[in-house]
Amino acid sequence: MNSSAASRTAPPLLVLLAMLTVYVVWGSTYLAIRFALEGYPPLFFPGVRFVVAGSVLYLVLRLRGHVAPTLRQWRNAAAIGVLLLNVGNGGVVIAERWVGSALAATAVATVPLWASVFAGIWGQWPVRMQWIGMVIGFAGIVVLNLGGDFAANPIAAALLMVASATWAFGSVWSRRLDLPKGLMSSASQMFAAGVVFIVVSALRGESWALLPSVKSAGALLYLIVFGSLLAFSAYMYLVQNVTPSLATSYAYVNPVVALLFGLTLGGEHIVRSGYVAIALVLFGVALIVYYNRPAQPVVAPTVPAEADA
């Protein structure tokens, strides 16, 4: 799908609602993941999360008359599900066993930069003002974490970088694959990734004899309903209908939202530089949103047909 055409035809209200959903809900999932990790193994609980979410969404769509994915579409959806959810989301979940959610969010804030690079390889570089917005937004994330603990486990840091790059690549690549239409794409991706998580969890011998606390069980339920069914579906809508830099701009807003949830639910405190960081992030995202159009591709000179002989 051509990104410029998609951004013109997508209803602005739906785009705005999808962006707000991804901005707020995914910002809250960092805290929810930490709560879930208190009662579930790190591979088992995302497996349950995505199998349940994918199955529920798939059944609802089929009952409403949606066409089942073809074998080719299942294969492509599984590939994107592995990149986005198994490697991307799974890397964040595992890393949060060793590092704080703020540091994890900082690493995830590199997703728009990765996405712009991968989109540029396919000839869809952002416009200049969007580059400026991404730099300002990332500067805000750095300021937000100046007082944080950067003495991170190097394995966790590597996981977060790989997770961010993989998520960005999968997001850009998905626009060029034959995937199921609409929400069926989200359902098939989540179900396939959930099965992979469950299989790997079993192979690693994670214990499934669990007695999670109410907080952990509630966090898992929240991740299924809001983090997966609602926000992941909204994100896939953005991926297919707006430019990569706009679709992935959530990565700048999520750390700010995560900080606000930490202040209200986690008893955390914000330093003065945090307010400067929030202003930088919001200004950077405003530039990305306002200039939501890809740069004009460079047109190669026409080569006479006889030269190809």
Domain boundaries, the chain: 3-295
CA-nearest of 114, 205, 98 to 157 is 98
Confidence at residue 267, expressed as pLDDT on a 0 to 100 scale: 64
CA-nearest of 38, 167, 163, 161 to 97 is 38
What is the C-alpha to C-alpha distance for residues 116 and 132, in angstroms, rounded to an integer? 12
Chain position carrying tokens 């994330």: 141
CA-nearest of 189, 186, 287, 276 to 243 is 287
Confidence at residue 282, expressed as pLDDT on a 0 to 100 scale: 76
Confidence at residue 308, expressed as pLDDT on a 0 to 100 scale: 39
**145 touches 103 (CB < 8 A):** yes
Q: What are the helix and strand counts (H, E) for the chain?
A: 15, 0
**271 touches 147 (CB < 8 A):** yes
AA letter at 227:
G
Confidence at residue 307, expressed as pLDDT on a 0 to 100 scale: 37
Confidence at residue 78, expressed as pLDDT on a 0 to 100 scale: 97
Assign residue 294 a region: left if phi > 0, alpha if psi is -120 to 50, beta otherwise?
Answer: beta
Rg of the chain taking only CA atoms, in angstroms: 20
pLDDT in tens, the chain (309 residues): 444 444 446 788 999 999 999 999 998 998 899 889 999 999 999 999 999 999 999 999 999 999 999 999 999 999 999 999 999 999 988 888 887 666 677 667 778 878 888 888 888 788 888 889 888 888 887 776 665 554 446 787 788 889 989 999 999 999 899 999 989 999 999 999 999 999 999 999 998 878 889 999 999 999 999 999 999 999 999 988 888 878 888 888 887 888 778 677 766 566 677 678 778 877 887 787 777 665 544 444 444 433 333
